[in-house]
Structure 1
Amino acid sequence: MPDEPSSAINTAYSGTTRKTSSERLFGDLLSFAGVTINGDNEYDIKVHNPKFYNRVIGKGNLGLGETYMAGWWDCERIDVFIERVLNAKLQDQVGKSKWLSLRLLMAKFINLQSSARAFQTRQQHYDIGNNLFRNMLDPSLTYSCGYWNNAANLAQAQYEKLDLICQKLKLAPGMKVLDIGCGWGGLSAFAARHYGVSVVGITISEEQLAHAQATYNDLDVEFRFMDYRDMNESFDRIMSVGMLEHVGHKNLKAYMNMIDRCLVNGGLALIHSIIDTDSGYCGDPWINKYIFVNGFLPSASQVTKAAEPKLVLEDVHNFGPDYDKTLIAWHDNFVENYPKIKENYDETFYRMWRYYLLCSAGSFRARHIQLMQFVFSKGRRQVYWSPR
């Protein structure tokens, strides 16, 4: 856990005007983004602890997140601050440490998303309490980007997204559908209820599984506690929403091979995933440590390369800016409803979770990361027309 703030240091620091070399360096870097330390703009940061500068200069994004969790700095609009930092490409100037170089090498040569490691994400994130997500997400508990094309609020955006997925897959009554990483079951239930299909949803989260089984037991949906690597059945359609981010670059080919193995000839598969603009091997170090352990955002080329040569890419749809709106809606719900759940979480968690949501929003707004839906086919002969 990050260091706890020292009130004595914070009080002493607030009254001094002498700047250290690290403070001057960091201030000069932020000036390229139009951000001023202790300035008056909503995106300016207020530093409370002088140790902040050395930590961020040495650890980059990891240090920035950890010092916020510790209360060493604040900002009225973290999302705008991050957007400005990313647009100015300051991340290329700080945090080039041996620790991060080691992390990159580990991600390149070690399978950080092996079967055993996959359960770490479940324990750290998805199983931290369904009540948290009930108070943050829309009523369907859809934990992925909404589609705001014709939506005025979060619930409508998620409904439109679920329906768009079903339309792109061209679902029809009687089809058998696989939902990989089904979450709390919202998409599986939507497809069964509105399109008359039979769905198998798989997850490795016990909390999600319990909710889905209890909530949708009246529909033609079967929820299983299962890792995707163990699936070996045939399906007319396959959907994967918010799952690819947990697969890892060393497992992308195996993931696509599983889809090919389970998809009938003539079938369609849709993958909905956050996409990095660069092809790399590991994700943001702070996100990986505190939010999604061993997470990895693939690039579009890594996704399509992994699908070769068995699956045919039919359609790619990028609506990344919609994730900005979705994350801000989640953040507002979280802050508004936090008094209902605060007895289960401490102040460090509150700051961590706000930072996660707002940093992510700023990253999508800066187009640093994207949200894409890929549609693949197997043995399809006719032209594919995709709805929007």
Structure 2
Amino acid sequence: MNLLTTPSKANSRWSSAIQQLAESAGIGFNGSHPWDIQVHNPGFYQRVLQDGIVGLGESYMEGWWECERLDQLFTRLVEAHLSEKIPQQLSVFLSLVWARLANLQSRQRAWIVGEEHYDLGNDLFEIMLDSRMQYSCAYWKEVNTLEEAQEAKLDLICRKLDLEPGMKLLDIGCGWGGLAEFAASRYGASVVGITISKEQQHLARDRCKGLDVEIRLQDYRDLNDTFDRVVSVGMFEHVGPRNYDTFFQTVRKVISDNGLFLLHTIGSLQSDLSVNPWIEKYIFPNGCLPSMLQIAKSTEGLFVTEDWHNFGADYDLTLVEWEKRFKAGWPELKENYSDSFYRMFRYYLLSCAGGFRARDLQLWQIVLSPHGVPGGIRVPR
């Protein structure tokens, strides 16, 4: 018998409580299923009960437990709503209170996620992502590879926007310039992309050399130009509920009266002011996923909703592919990143894949117009 995986008498009450919760989701400990948890440190049980979701993630980062298929584990955890049954630590409660009192995505704080996540290193994202470095959900309809699925997503966006040569396109949260390059080279658009990441700006400018593309290091609240089309892909998750009205008012200010706006965002099934506390602490500081209600309230009186497309199941496929690439490329990355970072990043990718697979997380593409398109639009799928 392995003493490291056998809780002491003092730990028995902790382990019994956790095991009862896990059994309701079909999850075992030190079992043979790929989603079972293999416990290496008996303190795991107490830590999860005391620290909740944060303790679960931190103990994995520290090697206290393993799981062959983290994605399958989290699908089961989410489907059983176990996170609602585990007490949260005081610091998590206080952070929720703070989110209700403060604007976590103010002008001053908006740059934090760029510095702490998107500026991690282009080497990491170059290995993990496709050639255009699309760090958002791919579109897997009728394709088989990540490269094909990301190009299909970019083409879908341009077709939904009815983009034509010479049109001025604003890309809010342009990332590493993949969409800007695609829209300019394939559709002949004149593109302005804005980002809050210096690393993204540098690479995006190199990617778009020779094209009618301008990449700015700029907060969306400082925009004043006028555009025929506006797009925002994977950025709205960093805007925050206190700023949703400002965001859509800014888009309305800069878009022409006969323009179109496409918003591509992860969505939540319920309105909230924060995200998974482990994700907020280690991956996306100050992030928050919008609900349908929050988006509808903030666009009321500003836009007509022309189309609302949900293909969240495709994010599961995208995240699993990113994790495969990250894992395969780790030998090239490990000199620049710690073993704890490796465990953290795999945990992030696969836990999110589980959330999308359980349909707890959504991916929406929403097409909006200022006054409604005469006769309506026929949106491609």
Match of 2:258 in 1: 266
Decide which of 67, 79, 85 is 2:71's aligned counterpart.
Answer: 79
Structure 1 CA distance, aligned partners of 2:372 and 2:356?
A: 34
Structure 2 partner of 1:371 = 363
Relative to structure 1, the CA distance from residue 381 to residue 169 in structure 2 (aligned partners, 3 Å threshold; closer, same or farther) is: closer
- Aligned counterpart, 1:386: 379
Question: CA shift at 1:214, angstroms?
Answer: 1.2
Asked whether 1:14 is paired with 2:26, we answer no
Alpha-carbon distance in structure 1 between the residues aligned to 2:20 and 2:276: 23
SS in 1 for 2:364: strand
Report the CA distance between 1:105 and its aligned residue.
1.4
Which of 165, 178, 187 is the matching residue for 1:195?
Answer: 187
Q: Secondary structure at the match of 1:119?
A: helix
Whether 2:148 is the aligned partner of 1:156: answer yes
For 1:76 and 1:380, the matched residues in 2 are separated by 50
Residues 265 and 380, structure 1, Cα contact 8 Å, conserved in 2: no
- 1:316 corresponds in structure 2 to 308
1:135 maps to: 127
Which residue is 2:229 aligned to?
237
CA contact (8 A) 2:180 2:208 kept: no
Residue matched to 1:62: 54
For 1:179, give the aligned amino acid.
D
**How far apart, in 2, do the equivalents of 1:14 and 1:291 lie?**
29
Q: Deviations over 1:19-78 (max 9, x none)?
A: 511110000000000001111100000111122112211222111111100111110001
1:329 is aligned with what amino acid?
Answer: E
Q: Equivalent residue of 2:58, what SS?
A: helix
TM-aligned CA deviation for residue 96 of structure 1: 3.6
> In 2, Cα distance between the equivalents of 1:365 and 1:174?
40
CA shift at 1:12, angstroms?
4.2
Aligned 8 A contact 1:267 1:379 in 2: no
Q: Does 1:289 align with 2:285?
A: no
Match of 1:31 in 2: 23
Could you tell me which amino acid in structure 2 is paired with residue 149 of structure 1? K
Q: Provide TM-score, normalisation by structure 2.
A: 0.97
Aligned to 2:338: 346
For the 8 Å contact 2:248–2:298, the answer to whether it is kept is: yes
CA-to-partner distance for each residue in 1:284-324, whole Å, 9 max, x for gaps? 10000000011100111111211111111111000000000
Q: Tell me if 1:91 matches 2:73.
A: no
What is the distance in 2 between the residues matched to 1:381 and 1:41?
53
Residue number in structure 1 paired with 2:199: 207
SS at match of 2:335: helix
With over 3 angstroms needed to count, the CA separation of the structure-2 counterparts of 1:295 and 1:16, relative to structure 1, is closer
Q: CA deviation at 1:381?
A: 4.0
CA drift at 1:79: 0.5
Alignment correspondent of 2:40: 48
Contact 2:235/2:265 (8 A) holds in 1: yes
Deviating 4+ runs (over 4 angstroms): 15-19
Letter in 2 for 1:226: Q
Letter in 1 for 2:4: Y
In the alignment, residue 172 of structure 2 is paired with which amino acid? I
Deviation at 1:15, TM superposition (A): 5.5
Shift in Å at residue 233 of structure 1?
0.9
For residues 91-130 of structure 1, give each alpha carbon's deviation from its aligned partner in whole angstroms, at most 9, with x where no partner exists: 1100344333222211112101111111110111100100
Measured after TM superposition, the shift of residue 166 of structure 1 is 0.3
Q: Tell me the percent identity.
A: 48
User: If the length of structure 1 is used for normalisation, what is the TM-score?
Assistant: 0.95
Gaps of 5+ in 2: none
